[in-house]
Chains A and B, each alone.
Chain A
Amino acid sequence: MSPRILVIEDDVDTSDEIAALLTTSGFETRRSLDGGEGLKLALSEPFDAITLDRILPGYDGLEVVSRLREAGRHTPVLMVSALGDVDDRVAGLRAGGDDYMIKPFAPVELLARLEVLLRRRSAGEPQLLLRVGDLELDLVSREARRGQRRIELLPREFKLLEYMMRNAGQMLSRRMIFEEVWEYYFDPGTNLIEVHVAKLRKKIDTPGEASLIRTERGSGYVLDAP
């Protein structure tokens, strides 16, 4: 069964666009144009994830998510907002949002963030060993191996690889990587993350081996078994 997504967004065009994007990507969507109605829907029907605009008529986004959490619902919530300041983000996450995305956004970014949220939800037991193809990352001994070869990683590279392996097969945008691995929320520019990923890639793939990290032009990176 395809995942069900609730889109709470008051701008009809944006809402249309998100819904169309999600439908073509194989999601089932329900839409709501205001906060109160959206909250009612979220409480009465099962959803796998919710995208929630921050500024809404009726209840605003923060209120919707905090009421949802008060009611004991743990549906992952992706907050979408024109307010991109660190304080706004902190407010959004503190109210119970799981991720926070700034408008305007690229459609692939929205999809990627939703996928990451859905995957995090279905992750289940905490893992001690991540494995993608012949690449292994031991989260206890903090060692990385590809086949028999041991890979030396700096702390930041370890964090980057862990994030990519946890979301193997999933496109991760540069901004998502910057936010998750470095925990900074400004625009890192086009090349900055690129070179970090390139450096990691050089350590993981030696000549002759199949490349595990793929660049999606203009959008981000995917780590996946060849």
Chain B
Amino acid sequence: MCSMRLSELWRTTTARLTLLYGLVFALGVPVLLGAVYLQSSIYLTQRIDIVLQAAADTLERVPRPELPRRIEEAEAINGSLAVFGLFSADGRWLAGNLTALPAGLPDDNKPKELPLTPRARTLRITVRSLPGGETLVVGRDINQLREMRAIIASASLWSGVTILVAGLGCGVALSIAPLRRLRSMQAAAQDIAAGNLKRRMPISRSGDELDVFADAVNYMMSEVERLMNEIKGATETIAHDLRTPLTRARAQLHRLQQAPEIGAADISRVVGEIDTVLERFRALLRISELEARERRAGFSRVDLSDIARQAVDLYQPLAESQGVNLSLGPLRGVMVEADPKLLFEAVSNLVDNAIKFSGASRGPGGRVVVSLGPDERPAQIVIDDNGPGIAEGERLAVLQRFYRSEDKRLIPGSGLGLSIVAAIVRLHRFELALQDLPVGLRAVIDCTDPTEGLAELPPER
């Protein structure tokens, strides 16, 4: 197997899914952290503002002469994070650790965030104008909040990158195995397409979706292989069976070409050979029509006794002319779901065969009985004859297209009668069985509907 390219890995579903999840996480983490940051910073700012307002209110109420001392006390209590400043009306420093009046001071009573340039600090500040015209500034260093923002941003970035990289890695790792299997399936498919119908899709036995798919493909391939073999077999026998009459016709035409005079009998012999070919073609077409037919197209309730009776009526004169005794067994009304014309065609073919073979082997002693079979299997049409029967090994073969038992080649016919019967029976999902009798052959069309009694099952697709 050749190596996998990364671009190919990307195209696997697993890699894409893993990457997609990674992306969702990588975006989700900053959003989550950001939300936490936003909530807590709002909360903290509110707390700071309350403290600032309270401190400013307290200092505002202090009598003016005591104010510088109280500011110093407050500074001592609150530590370095607190900022106080008292400035005269013209902006001169009077008291507090804030030595210059910052620009952009807010209005009274409204706390504001203010960057303090010299030491790169950020303050939260509130301002009061005192009755004497002085300005009181109370503030608090909120650099912690800014630092927290930076920490969260870098955490988001790193976690996002880590998740993405891990996702990519997992995606690649997880895709390698399916891709490898896909590759071997692809190889199998190419092999099949190149003509190796025996090749099958590899199955990992883990029972995952690829296995289910491979199983389905393998089943399909078995069917295709079976059909291809059938077609191959059929084509060969067709070629063989058509060549015989065509060769004979050609030989006769060749002889006529040399003959000084051509008689009508000569020509009708050639026509006879060609008629044989045409008859076989017609039968072949009939079989392919039957096989391509949609099931149940012409189905209705059919009485098997009617079919048996009509078949015996139709074939009685033929049987008489061959000295074969054709009779009807005991009948009773048995209704089945079938295409009456097709079922009749199948029964006719079986009766025709039975008369042909029992007549040919027994002459006047031939006997054919059409009945509905013994009671225990209710829906059957049974045709018994006392002809030579069919050797057990040949029974499957005679149902295939064009097969004719070697020693029976002298009996006229397209050789396709039984194949037509088989095709009709398959179409109905009935069963055709050929059984030995002590003397002769029994052909049974079992019309028991295999789906009967399964009505509660969903209909087949």
- Same complex for A and B? Answer yes
Chain A residues with CB under 8 Å of chain B are 82-87, 102, 104, 106, 156, 182, 184-192, 195-196, 198-199, 217-218
Residues of B within 8 A of A86 (CB): 298, 341-342
Residues of A within 8 A of B352 (CB): 189, 192
List 20 contacting pairs A-B, 8 Å CB cutoff, sorted by A: A84-B285, A84-B289, A85-B290, A86-B342, A104-B278, A104-B281, A106-B275, A182-B314, A184-B341, A184-B345, A186-B420, A187-B286, A191-B321, A192-B314, A192-B315, A192-B318, A195-B317, A198-B317, A198-B321, A218-B272
- B271 beta carbon closer than 8 Å to chain A: yes
B281 contacts A87, C-beta separation under 8 Å: no
| A83 with B289, Cβ < 8 A, contacts A184-B344, A184-B345 known | yes
- B243 beta carbon closer than 8 Å to chain A: no
**B69 vs chain A, min Cβ distance (A):** 114
Cα separation A104 to B275 with both chains bound (whole Å): 10
Closest 9 CB pairs of A and B: A195-B317, A186-B345, A85-B289, A195-B321, A195-B318, A199-B317, A104-B278, A196-B317, A192-B318
At the interface, is chain B mostly helix, strand, loop or mixed? helix
A187 contacts B283, C-beta separation under 8 Å: yes
**A153 vs chain B, min Cβ distance (A):** 14
Residues of A within 8 A of B348 (CB): 184, 186, 188
**A88 vs chain B, min Cβ distance (A):** 8
Residues of B within 8 A of A87 (CB): 293, 297-298
| A187 with B282, Cβ < 8 A, contacts A85-B293, A86-B341, A217-B268 known | yes
Cα separation A188 to B279 with both chains bound (whole Å): 11
- B313 beta carbon closer than 8 Å to chain A: yes
B413 contacts A104, C-beta separation under 8 Å: no
Known: A187-B414, A191-B321. 13 other contacts (CB 8 A): A84-B285, A84-B286, A84-B289, A86-B298, A87-B298, A104-B278, A104-B281, A184-B341, A187-B283, A192-B318, A195-B317, A195-B318, A218-B271
**A188 vs chain B, min Cβ distance (A):** 8
- B79 beta carbon closer than 8 Å to chain A: no
- B412 beta carbon closer than 8 Å to chain A: yes
Cα separation A182 to B311 with both chains bound (whole Å): 11
- B320 beta carbon closer than 8 Å to chain A: yes
**A215 vs chain B, min Cβ distance (A):** 13
**B290 vs chain A, min Cβ distance (A):** 8
Cα separation A83 to B321 with both chains bound (whole Å): 33
| A218 with B314, Cβ < 8 A, contacts A102-B282, A104-B278 known | no
Residues of A within 8 A of B285 (CB): 82, 84, 102
Cα separation A156 to B286 with both chains bound (whole Å): 26
Q: Which of B255-292 contact A (CB under 8 A)?
A: 268, 271-272, 275, 278-279, 281-283, 285-286, 289-290
- Chain A residue nearest to B342 (CB atoms) is A86
**A92 vs chain B, min Cβ distance (A):** 14
Residues of A within 8 A of B342 (CB): 86
Pick from B271, B278, B286, B413: contact of A189, CB under 8 Å: B413
**A26 vs chain B, min Cβ distance (A):** 22
Cα separation A218 to B279 with both chains bound (whole Å): 13
B289 contacts A218, C-beta separation under 8 Å: no
**B181 vs chain A, min Cβ distance (A):** 45
B341 contacts A185, C-beta separation under 8 Å: yes
**B92 vs chain A, min Cβ distance (A):** 108
Q: Which of B362-377 contact A (CB under 8 A)?
A: none
- Chain B residue nearest to A105 (CB atoms) is B278
- Chain B residue nearest to A185 (CB atoms) is B341
Residues of B within 8 A of A85 (CB): 289-290, 293
Residues of B within 8 A of A84 (CB): 282, 285-286, 289
**B282 vs chain A, min Cβ distance (A):** 6
Provide the B322-362 mask, 1 if CB < 8 A to any CB of A, else 0: 00000000000000000001101100100010000000000
A156 contacts B313, C-beta separation under 8 Å: yes
Cα separation A87 to B315 with both chains bound (whole Å): 25
Cα separation A174 to B345 with both chains bound (whole Å): 16
**A218 vs chain B, min Cβ distance (A):** 6
Cα separation A182 to B313 with both chains bound (whole Å): 11
Cα separation A199 to B318 with both chains bound (whole Å): 10
**B374 vs chain A, min Cβ distance (A):** 29
**A128 vs chain B, min Cβ distance (A):** 28
**B279 vs chain A, min Cβ distance (A):** 7
**B13 vs chain A, min Cβ distance (A):** 45
